[in-house]
Structure 1
Amino acid sequence: MGAMTKGRMAKYKIGDYVTGRNEEIFGKIVNVHLVEGQWFYRLHNREELYREDQLSPADEDAELAQKENVHIDYRFQFGDIVHVKGYGSDLFVVIGFRAEIWRYKNSAWEDLIYELSRLKDGEWLEATEEELVYIADEQKAKKFLLHPQLRNNPTQKPERKKDMADIDMLLDMYNDYKRLYELFGENTYRKKMKEVLKKLEAIVRHFQK
């Protein structure tokens, strides 16, 4: 129960968490004072006294939220060439990424969103990390972009068309092995995924010739 005097109870008690109306004040109440009929509160690690009308209730979890440092590892970086699930043999370059941080009382998660540009026509797309397959890094990507064969050139050489067909087939294989690995967790499927990626990298090197 809060302190009481002359029939009026203090709104807060020692141990309550409060925040300032300007959101620059936050902390746990350590002392309660009555001065000339008004309630004042001292917060942990603060010298000032705050009037009751300067404060609002705050949840203890808010203290943790204010102190939280979120470390996020991005699997893909600027300039990486990737394949997007559901887009056939089309390849995209990473042009941006962001993290959407979600916090609720009983749950918390982060969504990583990548902004992409399709190599053949520059079409913009957003995709999550789970939808992407790494193909090449920025250095190899620069050489990729110099090849008109990747932009649906009607004069595309037969061997280039074969490379694109191989990419399509290998990406399908990769996604199949990935689903099997996620279902059964067997390392055999994970090894197959790595083998497919090596073949994709070989095709990337072929494009650079």
Structure 2
Amino acid sequence: MNDSAGQDKRRFDFGDIVRIDECEDELYRVEGYTELIYYSSEGMYQESYYDLARIPDGLYLDGYDDNMTLICTAEEAWELLEKRKAKNRQSTLSINSKKSPQEQIDDLLDEHNDFMELYRITRDKEYIELAKLAFDFIKELQQKELKFEIPHI
């Protein structure tokens, strides 16, 4: 049996960034794959499924050829993740004034947690800086909120 037989059938490779049909807003990195070969009197059938890690938190999920879409190859992944990081930085920097201060604080806490998880996974210190930035905005919002509170008499 030739080990490269399944190579032609497999659509995704290690490090590729993919999207799952049921999870349109989330990106996953291909961490591994399993190839199954079924033999019967009628012939051979091959199936592949993939071990995926959600970006940014690493939650594992299985994916199949028929429900995955390639976003970029492993070679292009670094550039995509850098663009995503810049977008996250921009969203952190722009406080949405249409939301209440508490909603904004909740959003910033979510972003802070995402940045800390990204740092844990990648060890990229820029994520620590973004997490600190999120906390700075939280402090700023809390100070603004305290100024507008009506004192109890």
Per the normalisation by structure 1, the TM-score is: 0.37
Of Structure 1 and Structure 2, the greater helix share is in 2
Per the normalisation by structure 2, the TM-score is: 0.49
The higher-RCO structure (CA 8 Å, 6+ apart) is: 2
